[in-house]
Structure 1
Amino acid sequence: MGGLILRRLAVALPTIFLIITASFFLMRLAPGGPFDAEVDLDPFVKANLEAIYGLDQPIGTQYLRYLTGLFQGELGPSTTYPDRSVGELIADGLPVTLKLGFTAIALAAFLGIVAGITAARNQNSLLDAGVMGFASIGIALPNFVVAPALTLVFGIYLQLLPVAGWGDGEFRNWILPVIALALPQVAAIARIMRGAMLETLSADYIRTARAKGMPEGRVIRRHALQSAFLPVMSYLGPAIAAVLTGSVIVEQLFALPGIGRFFVQGAVARDYGLVLGVVILYATALILINLIVDIAYGWLDPRARVK
């Protein structure tokens, strides 16, 4: 297991460095700048602002200065929020994003696994067709389509739930955002779980357990579930990535004070520091999550440890 972790880290660290480098230069090389939107800004004032933020220096110097700050744990200042640093903005928005994202992925995993097992145990039945039909629709509809539809139905027509805002984090404020994020992943996990469960239930050791008179529920729990769960475990890394990146859109649609909303505002305002800080955070989180998934997969399936 230690060798697996070291191999993954040997790939993860250079990947994070390449993401930081590519993001930095792409942001700097794109036309425009953080102060170009100010139409009436005096050129002398603009030059002073660029000097304050170090934007008047050569791009190579800016890059080395940014890397030095990163190694010291600093993400730099924000031009959109000049009285606050990027680290402070991320620290304020991160709890909302984490609560939203991990609640959505937990809900998606639970509902998807249950739906997949149910469909597999009732293969070729009306229930199976209904679950797979829902899964096909769920995969086809992205969350930026699901979110406005949920808002329209439950927020405007039925007036059951708030359509925007986080309030003090009350339960009713995050029902719609969580559902909007979770639904596509529920559909995908259900399809994967159904296919894996059908393959596992046709294995010889499952037929042997049934021939010995073992109850079907016990066969599922003790013999089939662990093997069938391995493909779902492999998918959880990309699923969490999809949820975290999808939260950028969902937070903006529901006016939630998460880091996704800061990312959108920073991108519109060409706030180099804010955009880079969020990109680095997302990239690092996704790589670490995939590392955790690989470790968990290796724990469940010892054959993966030698790869």
Structure 2
Amino acid sequence: MGRYVARRLLQMIPVFIGSTLLIFLMMYALPGDPVRALMGDQAFDPAVVANIRKDLGLDQPILQQYANYLGGLFQGDFGTEIGSQRPVADIIADAFPVTIRLTLFAFAFTVFVGVGLGIVAGLRPDTLQDRGLLTLTLVLISMPSFVLGFLMQYLFAFQWQLTTPTVRDSMNFGELMLPAIVLGSLSLAYVARLTRTSMAENLRADYMRTAVAKGLPKRRIVGVHLMRNSLIPVVTFLGTDIGNLMTGAIVTEGIFNVKGVGNAIYEALIRREGATVVGIASLIVLVYLATSLLVDLLYAVLDPRIRYA
């Protein structure tokens, strides 16, 4: 197991470099000049702009800029915003905990509600409960997140006045509840359907008939044999879904005015602040890689037949 983990960690290095390089090139390939944008509509001296670009290293070849950025990244330096001269690490330190809090809230909602609904429907396929779940999840999958967000905002905030329409305090879990539900609704639909399908298929498996024939208690048959095998595809989806929730939070944070990563990326794109976008994207890439490794390790826990030599 230790050798497998070490090998996976080594494989993450080229993946991280390749993904961040692609993001870096895409960001700096966008039209516009962030230094020129600082001047606004007023007249400017081209020599002054050239000196500023030279001080920031923007006059160097793009690959050299990426090499400099990567070298600073390994030392904990995410760069500096051109407009505000504020370290990107400080921006991330302010925005990332908010998005992490919102993502974990949405992830917990997805796991407990989605898996729970999937288990109820999977144990009783082709019943009214099963058809109701499939209909509900189909509606959630078909509805765009911004439509669901405005709908939930209208009902819970304006009609029933159960919560505030926007988040005023990002540290308040009560105010983050509605954005988290909206953020996790699409993932909940997929998790519920995946759990339901996996459990319905495993109910007809040979090992289930053997467990019943041996006279094992129903609680052990469902809780140990059926659940452990049925949750493997669900765990695979949930592992990658953490990163999807973080990137999907951009729309949700905009609807509910949450000052998280989504708001920071949006403002950075408007101001053409490439260092901020690339820095946040680099952290999200690390989250994807870490959750991918964790999912692979969980396979061996859920299924004893899986071993990493």
Q: Same fold (TM over 0.5)?
A: yes
Provide the residue aligned with 1:281 in structure 2: 283
Question: What letter is aligned with 1:141?
Answer: M
Residues 166 and 257 of structure 1 are in contact (CA less than 8 Å); yes or no, is this contact kept in structure 2? no
Residues 4 and 295 of structure 1 are in contact (CA less than 8 Å); yes or no, is this contact kept in structure 2? no
Provide the residue aligned with 2:177 in structure 1: 175
Cα displacement (A) at 1:41: 5.1
The 1:153–1:43 alpha-carbon spacing in structure 2 relative to 1, beyond 3 Å, is farther
How far apart, in 2, do the equivalents of 1:223 and 1:35 lie?
61
Whether 2:305 is the aligned partner of 1:265: answer: no
Specify which of 57, 62, 68 is matched with residue 65 of structure 1. 68
Specify which of 51, 67, 73 is matched with residue 54 of structure 2. 51
Q: How does 1:1-307 map to 2 (within 5 A)?
A: 1-37=1-37, 38-40=40-42, 42-44=44-46, 45-82=48-85, 84-167=86-169, 169-306=171-308
How far apart, in 2, do the equivalents of 1:194 and 1:227 lie?
13
Cα displacement (A) at 1:269: 1.1
Cα displacement (A) at 1:127: 0.8
Moved more, 153-162 or 186-195: 153-162
Residues 105 and 177 of structure 2 are in contact (CA less than 8 Å); yes or no, is this contact kept in structure 1? no
Cα displacement (A) at 1:267: 1.2
Aligned residues: 306
For residue 305 of structure 1, give the secondary structure of its aligned residue in structure 2: coil
The 1:48–1:79 alpha-carbon spacing in structure 2 relative to 1, beyond 3 Å, is same
For residue 35 of structure 2, give the secondary structure of its aligned residue in structure 1: coil
How far apart, in 2, do the equivalents of 1:168 and 1:98 lie?
11
Question: What letter is aligned with 2:242?
Answer: I
The 1:54–1:301 alpha-carbon spacing in structure 2 relative to 1, beyond 3 Å, is same
Question: Alignment RMSD, CA only?
Answer: 2.0
Structure 1: gaps spanning 5 or more residues: none
Q: Percent of pairs identical after alignment?
A: 34
How far apart, in 1, do the equivalents of 2:193 and 2:83 lie?
43
Question: What letter is aligned with 2:298?
Answer: A
Structure 2: gaps spanning 5 or more residues: none
The 1:220–1:104 alpha-carbon spacing in structure 2 relative to 1, beyond 3 Å, is same
How far apart, in 1, do the equivalents of 2:240 and 2:192 lie?
15
How far apart, in 1, do the equivalents of 2:26 and 2:122 lie?
47
How far apart, in 2, do the equivalents of 1:204 and 1:256 lie?
50
The 1:41–1:127 alpha-carbon spacing in structure 2 relative to 1, beyond 3 Å, is farther
The 1:240–1:173 alpha-carbon spacing in structure 2 relative to 1, beyond 3 Å, is same
The 1:262–1:80 alpha-carbon spacing in structure 2 relative to 1, beyond 3 Å, is farther
Residues 162 and 172 of structure 1 are in contact (CA less than 8 Å); yes or no, is this contact kept in structure 2? no
Residues 212-235 of structure 1: per-residue CA shift (max 9 Å, x gap): 444433321132111111111111
Cα displacement (A) at 1:100: 0.6
Residues 119 and 196 of structure 2 are in contact (CA less than 8 Å); yes or no, is this contact kept in structure 1? yes
Cα displacement (A) at 1:302: 4.0
Cα displacement (A) at 1:25: 2.2
Question: What letter is aligned with 2:260?
Answer: G
Residues 158-185 of structure 1: per-residue CA shift (max 9 Å, x gap): 2221121241522321011100111111
Residues 195-226 of structure 1: per-residue CA shift (max 9 Å, x gap): 11112211223223334444433321132111
Moved more, 187-196 or 169-178: 169-178
For residue 270 of structure 1, give the secondary structure of its aligned residue in structure 2: coil
How far apart, in 1, do the equivalents of 2:207 and 2:305 lie?
18
For residue 33 of structure 2, give the secondary structure of its aligned residue in structure 1: coil
Cα displacement (A) at 1:144: 2.5
Question: What letter is aligned with 2:71?
Answer: T
How far apart, in 2, do the equivalents of 1:36 and 1:149 lie?
41
Question: What letter is aligned with 1:43?
Answer: D
The 1:94–1:57 alpha-carbon spacing in structure 2 relative to 1, beyond 3 Å, is same
Cα displacement (A) at 1:243: 0.8
How far apart, in 2, do the equivalents of 1:49 and 1:13 lie?
33
How far apart, in 1, do the equivalents of 2:82 and 2:156 lie?
38
How far apart, in 2, do the equivalents of 1:165 and 1:202 lie?
47
Moved more, 167-176 or 88-97: 167-176
